[in-house]
């Protein structure tokens, strides 16, 4: 039954995005179905948002439909299958006219200009595409590591804990290989060559090599070294393809790619990337130990704007480097406070707008996901369209971040063994230097502070008198404010109160 339900969800989405012929690519991340579309104008946004299983939509370089963790991984294969079936049964398209091609070209240019796809943002998207596929393994191994740590502390199942340790640590021991593979794939090279070069970094035999008077250690440079080595391998491979004769290309190009990039990795990148990785770890620890309250407030308060701008993707390699070095990232629990502020703000909006049934229903449906760290429905369906509540939500996130930062200054680190989850879903992945109980208590305290401050800031400062008059009107879900104006003589109209305006619904 579950499989049929997932297929039903996919089937309900497909016609609303223009059908199979309009879909050019299909992928998914932790919470979103990401679609490449030939013609954006064919998408029925409001109808999509009205689907029970759709939490919201986001338009970036791809059209993203928020389905939530777990569900998106099950719906995506069904959606891909429906797209393939639809394209296979579609009739041959009519020959395009010159006017039609010109119109399509104009639309594509306008869409591209609107997206403002700067080189920096495109680069960040490539970086995200390298690390996002690794998140499920990071989560799974992180939870197993947490369970194993609990069993070890309780002295339970001593015959099983070594096996659990091996299961939890195996992926992290070889994460550089996976990063190298994904990097080469993303930058247009042969993925396995990128993985082969990155594997040098974790090979135990590098301990026999001296560079700059220092003996290398396996894993030195970590994921940053693997990323650099794979990018170098891609460039060398492309250079070889230009001049190596086709008859010997299969022998010469892979050999030169691995040899040249491997030597540069051993005698240069491992040392340099190792220094950078160490600096990142030391810098993050110093920042929180010495400026914890201030740093926590900045990180927690600005994370939502960073997500909207797509700049949060730059943090993914930093998280991964910290996890590789210390076993956990001290930044993610602070950044997760942004979601707590968002939840508190949404509850305040629910309390303030007692007469707006539409917004209240949206909040009621989106709050459970918000508590679990899926914030898109609340952001794009509630706080961002309203304006001021988005800012007060950031204030709540800043307060929660400052709370956790305070404990970092006092000598207690709160970290996460994986990236991806947030909110309550982060509890199974928490780790720190003072035991699991203390770590969970501090994180829970940060969430509570974020909820309370986000609520109070929004309730007290999130609405002007004009906004209350505009949004606190009796607008039911599915009705537009204009419908009330068209009800006829039986619906009295006044000029004293402006017509209510309904924000985007999820």
- The set of catalytic residues is 29
416 - beta bridge partners?
329, 430
Checking 248-257 for CB contacts under 8 A at 24+ apart, the result is: 254/190, 254/193, 257/190, 257/193, 257/197, 257/233
**At 486, phi and psi to the nearest 5?**
-105, 15
**At 34, phi and psi to the nearest 5?**
-105, 120
Q: How far apart are CA 21 and CA 292, in angstroms?
A: 52
Question: 151 in helix, strand or coil?
Answer: helix
List the end-to-end C-alpha distance of the chain, in Å, as a whole number: 26
Cα 313–314–316 angle (5° rounding)? 70
Q: What percent of the residues of the chain are helix, what percent strand, and what percent coil, each to the nearest 5?
A: 70, 5, 25
CB contact at 8 A, 233 and 247: no
* Residue closest to 335 by CA, chosen among 399, 401, 389: 401
CA atoms within 13 A of residue 159's CA, in its CB half-sphere: 0
| Beta carbons within 10 angstroms of residue 86's beta carbon | 16
CB contact at 8 A, 212 and 275: no
Give Cα 313 to chain centroid, integer Å: 7
By CB atoms closer than 10 A (0-12, 13-18, 19+), residue 409 is middle
Structure tokens at 127: 């970086």
């Amino acid at each position: 039954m579950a499989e049929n339900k997932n297929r039903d969800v996919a089937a309900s989405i497909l016609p609303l995005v223009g059908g199979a012929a309009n879909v050019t690519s299909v992928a998914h991340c932790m919470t979103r179905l990401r679609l490449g579309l030939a013609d954006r104008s064919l998408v029925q946004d409001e109808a999509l948002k009205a689907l029970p299983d759709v939490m919201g939509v986001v338009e970036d370089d791809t059209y993203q439909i928020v389905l939530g963790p777990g569900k998106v991984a099950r719906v995506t294969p069904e959606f891909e299958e429906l797209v393939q079936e639809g394209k296979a049964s579609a009739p041959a398209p009519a020959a395009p006219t010159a006017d039609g091609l010109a119109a399509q070209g104009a639309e594509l240019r306008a869409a591209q200009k609107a997206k403002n796809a700067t080189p920096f943002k495109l680069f960040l998207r490539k970086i995200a595409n390298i690390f996002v596929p690794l998140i499920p393994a990071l989560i799974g191994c992180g939870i197993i590591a947490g369970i194993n740590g609990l069993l070890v502390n309780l002295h339970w199942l001593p015959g099983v804990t070594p096996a659990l340790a091996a299961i939890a640590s195996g992926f992290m021991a070889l994460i550089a290989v996976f990063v190298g593979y994904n990097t080469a794939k993303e930058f247009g090279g042969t993925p396995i060559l990128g993985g082969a070069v990155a594997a040098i970094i974790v090979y135990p035999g590098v301990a026999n090599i001296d560079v700059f008077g220092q003996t290398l250690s396996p894993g030195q440079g970590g994921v940053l070294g693997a990323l650099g080595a794979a990018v170098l391998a891609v460039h060398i491979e492309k250079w070889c393809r230009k001049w190596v004769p086709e008859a010997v290309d299969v022998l010469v190009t892979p050999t030169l790619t691995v040899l040249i990039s491997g030597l540069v990795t051993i005698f240069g990148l491992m040392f340099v990337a190792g220094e950078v990785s160490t600096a990142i770890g030391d810098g993050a620890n110093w920042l929180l130990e010495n400026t914890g309250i201030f740093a926590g407030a900045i990180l927690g308060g600005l994370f939502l704007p960073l997500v909207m701008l797509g700049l949060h993707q730059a943090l993914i390699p930093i998280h991964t480097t910290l996890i590789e070095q210390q076993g956990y990232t001290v930044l993610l629990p602070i950044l997760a406070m942004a979601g707590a502020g968002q939840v508190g703000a949404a509850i305040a909006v629910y309390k303030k707008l007692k007469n707006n049934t539409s917004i209240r229903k949206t909040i009621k449906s989106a709050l459970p996901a918000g508590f679990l760290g899926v914030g898109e429905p609340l952001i794009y369906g509630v706080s961002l369209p309203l304006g001021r509540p988005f800012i007060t939500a950031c204030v709540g996130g800043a307060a929660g971040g400052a709370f956790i930062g305070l404990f970092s200054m006092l000598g207690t680190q709160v970290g996460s063994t994986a990236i991806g989850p947030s909110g309550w879903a982060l509890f199974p992945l928490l780790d720190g230097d003072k035991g699991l109980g203390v770590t969970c208590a501090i994180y829970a305290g940060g969430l509570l502070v974020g909820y309370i401050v986000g609520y109070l800031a929004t309730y007290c400062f999130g609405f002007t008198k004009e906004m209350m008059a505009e949004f606190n009107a009796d607008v039911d879900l599915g009705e537009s404010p204009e419908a009330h104006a068209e009800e006829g003589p039986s619906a009295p109209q006044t000029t004293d109160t402006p017509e209510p305006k309904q924000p985007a619904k999820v």
